Amino acid sequence: RGKWAWDWWASLGSPRYVCSPMIDQSERAFRLLSRRYGVDLAYTPMIHAEPFAANSEWRQKYFDAWRPVLDDRGVNIDKPLIAQFGGDDPETMLRAAKFVEPYVSAVDINMGCPTEEARRGGLHTHSPRCRRFGAYLLDSPNLVKRLVSTLANGLSVPVTVKIRVLDTVEETLDLALAIQEAGAAALCVHGRTKNQRPKLADRTSGLWAAGPKGLAADWEVIASVREVVDIPVIANGGIETREDVLNLLQTTGCAAVMSAEALLEDPDLFLEEPLETHDGTPEGEGRAQVRRILRLCREFVDLAEEHPSTLEYTPTKPHLAKMLHRLAGEDQYICRKLEEQGAPLNIQQECKLFLIRSKFDDFASIRGALDQIEDRYAAEALPVLGGPWYRRWRHLAPKAQAAPKKAARGRPGGPAPQRARAIAE
């Protein structure tokens, strides 16, 4: 039944490594950098459907793939590309998606965002009619099906959906089957519920236990979804390292794995071989990490200058803050206060000040800050890096993901065996 979906997936090159849709973060420059180091499929930042459908200025500002990026062979290197939209009105979503239809490989419906903005439906200044989007749509299965079927029937490109798991496995499987029946060509499943947010880890005790009451991404539920649907499934959640990537693929048998936060920090996350080698000594490893991080930062700055963001406040420095976190991850407020007091600064605090003093729209200034950071670490006899940005909300607990109880059934990355289930109405 899902052969058409797998044929479409094959036409994209059977992607395995996916760059997540991220608000103001998966813009063209970052997509191109991550594609350079292993990403096979990328999503645009999420687009609010209501203003996008109504306002041409909004369309020019929030969609950055109107023109291709051609290599020497005339191939668009910013494809395959999926545009993600957020909204709760099927007709509005369709009108918005129609504008980008000729420029993308598919259109995705955001049913996974767990933020407060998603609960409110965005800002009323730009989306006055939208009441919710993202994971807050999942409580209304009829609306979910109408959104998917309206876009699937109204567009010439396939429709995909990104969801979070629900409170029970049964509810999640029924939802996945309903989305498939409505016409989705692929499904991305994040293994946490909308209430499982690592950002809240410090506020609630015991959140790191696996399961509905914890913060761990449940890979077994993702594997169960992959077993019951006939369309490609992308696994998402609980990814920090390349080892995690491979474990998630093996555990779930999914067609692909998607990363957001880990990829923001390490755009070479999916790279099979280390970007920088070393001699195995602590000093060699530290210096190789410094070289790797700064190399990625400089390549990103070059791409950001070549493919400038259309946003009022470009995301160049926010991206660099994440990529440089292990070199300059100190709190900027504390750094400024210490500097004002004339207090001694550690290397991370010094490097944070180098970065925040650079101007967000001045690439020469930003490159100068990177040079200062490089010089400062070169002066260290034994470079010691700080903790990863990925763990800024996760420092209270070890990495959390469900260990596989059994191997995923069916051909890895292929259609799952058919299993009859009732579709939730």
Question: Which residues are identified as catalytic?
Answer: 113
Alpha helices in 44-158 (DSSP H): 49-54, 56-62, 90-100, 116-120, 141-154
- Orientation angle between helical segments 141-154 and 90-100, nearest 10 degrees: 30
Residue pair 254/18 in contact (Cβ under 8 Å)? The answer is: no
Alpha helices in 229-331 (DSSP H): 242-252, 261-265, 282-306, 316-323, 325-328
| Amino acid symbol at 400 | A
What region, left, alpha or beta, does residue 407 occupy, with left being phi > 0 and alpha being psi -120 to 50 degrees? beta
Residue pair 27/95 in contact (Cβ under 8 Å)? The answer is: no
DSSP string across 78-110: T-SEEEEEE-S-HHHHHHHHHHHGGG-SEEEEE
Query: Cα torsion at 135, 399, 396, 319 (round to 10°)?
Result: -60
Q: What is the C-alpha radius of gyration for the chain, rounded to an integer number of angstroms?
A: 22
Separation between Cα atoms, residue 262 and residue 242, nearest integer Å: 10
